[in-house]
Amino acid sequence: MREGRGGSALTMASGAIPGRPSKVAASGQFLLALTIGVCGGGVFAWLHLPLAWMLGSMLACTVAATLGAPIAAPGWSRPPLTVVIGLMLGASFTPNTLHNVTQWLPTVSGLVVYLVAGGVFCVLYLRWVARYDPITAFYSGMPGGLTDMVIMGEQSGGDVRIIALTHSCRVLLVVSALPLLFAVFGHISLPPRPVASWIVNWSASGLGWAAASAIVGIAGAHLLRLPTKYLFGPMAASAVVHATGLSEFTPPQLLLNIAQVGLGVVIGCRFRGARLGLFLPVLLHSAVVSAILLSITVSFATLFSRYLGTSFLQVVLAYSPGGLTEMSLIAVSLQLDVAFVAAHHLLRIFLVVIAAQFLGLTLFSRKSRDGPN
Residue 53, pLDDT score: 87
Residue 16, pLDDT score: 44
In the chain, the amino acid numbered 277 is G
> C-alpha distances in angstroms, 151 versus 29, 187, 354, 364?
26, 37, 14, 14
Residue 42, pLDDT score: 93
Residue 186, pLDDT score: 56
Residue 318 · residue 344 · CB < 8 Å: yes
Residue 83 · residue 21 · CB < 8 Å: no
Residue 149 · residue 139 · CB < 8 Å: yes
> C-alpha distances in angstroms, 90 versus 97, 238, 250?
11, 5, 9
In the chain, what are the domains?
7-363 (1.20.1530)
Query: How many angstroms separate the CA atoms of 233 and 187, rounded?
Result: 30
Q: What is the 8-class DSSP label of residue 321?
A: S
**CA dihedral sign, ordered 17, 255, 227, 118:** negative
Binned average pLDDT, 10 residues per bin, the chain of 373 residues: 40 47 79 95 85 85 90 85 83 74 88 94 96 94 80 82 86 83 60 43 76 93 81 86 83 80 86 80 94 93 91 92 81 82 86 84 60 43
Query: How many angstroms separate the CA atoms of 354 and 317, rounded?
Result: 22
Residue 198 · residue 226 · CB < 8 Å: no
